[in-house]
């Protein structure tokens, strides 16, 4: 299966369990791996045989910058299900949501979760 990668999409959202996360918000980054057949798009040089990256970005942005969720897992699940529902050419997707600055003590680069979802037959 061919893949489109969209990496380090950056947003500001209000997701988290702590009240300060919901009030102050924080940065989120999203990596997407989109699985679909790109043969016809490449051979015919035809955008209608692929997926418009701007549409993917906009749908992801609406979720991350939209209604606050308690868990980043819920954000990733919402992104994956929305993309699969919205783009009939998409067969599967891997969604990684990264919290660069979660309010937890310790020394680390970031915290992230990743989900992989396939179109149901």
The verdict on whether 99 is a catalytic residue reads: yes
Q: Which residue has the tokens 């940065």?
A: 27
Query: Of residues 3, 29, 69, 99, which has the active-site annotation?
Result: 99
- Catalytic positions, please? 99
């Amino acid at each position: 299966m061919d893949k489109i990668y969209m990496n380090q999409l950056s947003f500001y959202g209000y997701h988290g369990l702590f009240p300060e996360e919901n009030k102050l918000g924080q940065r989120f980054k999203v990596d997407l791996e989109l699985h679909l057949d790109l043969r016809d798009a490449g051979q015919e040089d035809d955008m209608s045989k692929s997926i418009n990256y701007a549409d993917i970005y906009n749908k992801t942005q609406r979720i991350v910058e939209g209604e606050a969720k308690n868990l980043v897992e819920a954000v990733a699940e919402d992104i994956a299900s929305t993309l699969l529902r919205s783009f009939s050419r998409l067969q599967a997707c891997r969604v990684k949501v990264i919290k660069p600055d979660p309010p937890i003590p310790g020394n680390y680069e970031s915290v992230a979760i990743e989900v992989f979802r396939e179109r149901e037959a």
